[in-house]
Amino acid sequence: MAKIGFIGLGIMGAPMARNLQAGGHTLFAYKRSGALPDELASGGATLCHSPKEVAQQAGIIITMLPDTPDVEAVLFGSDGIAEGLSAGKTVIDMSSIAPLPTKAFAAKIAALGCDYLDAPVSGGEVGAKAATLTIMAGGSQSAFDKVKPLFELMGKNITLVGDSGAGQTCKVANQIIVALTIEAVGEALLFASKAGADPARVREALMGGFASSRILEVHGERMIKRTFAPGFRIELHRKDLGLALEGAKALGVPLPSTALCQQLFNLCHAHDADQLDHSALVKALEVMANHTVA
């Protein structure tokens, strides 16, 4: 059994860490403040006092953090992971961050004699708890093969997409598709509701046709029932679309629909909805239509 370090015990990270622990592995975790979640503490996880200590104790170190600067600080800041590494260890970043800095992070970790994988995930809190996440990895085949049994404790659809940064590129593409689909479902249910149809029955009918999707199933229900507790927060999806648009600008690629969804997330941000689930994007459409899906 492996000694695994885990940094980032939020909505996604805590259940991911618990699934690794349930697989029989020894867990060393860092939390900036407070005690470990009860389920991890009761399972025997050790609370470390710095990312450096996590890296000293564990052979495989996983990060699950909100944004690129957070990952950089935990990796290379004072008492960071890099200070605690020794040759032969593996660092896996499962956050959703920018692809270009990811390549630089991988090079710096490789210079220390360690492997680095970027392995962002999709599937939300439900997938994290159920260990059914989609995991899209970037890095070497040998490093991927070494840690794949750990990925299998957290997810089901696990793919080595390519070299360092490829996992993050794939995650940005995923977030484009998810945002545009949430927007489409929101428009459809808003149209149906405004036209006088029962949006719940419209959703039920559409679930049996070509318009069916996981987002229509889960987030369509959220829109109708007004259950917007995250899940995956608007502020994080807004960040991810920012990464997409920054990358598109650098590549000279037009992403007009992505830009539209980002503006809708910006509207949600302006109305203090950052902490709601990203299905609450429908609220931006409702503001413009002066009508609520119900």
16 Cβ neighbours under 8 A, 6+ residues apart: 6, 62, 64, 94, 121, 128, 133, 154
Residue 107 backbone phi and psi in degrees, to 5:
-65, -40
Are 160 and 141 in contact, with CB atoms under 8 Å apart? yes
What residues are paired with 115 via a beta bridge?
Answer: 90
* Choice among 31, 89, 103, 171 that is catalytic: 171
Taken in order 32, 34, 39, 44, is the CA torsion positive or negative?
positive
171 is catalytic: yes
Tokens standing for 213?
């999707």
Longest dimension (CA), the chain: 65
Catalytic site residues?
171
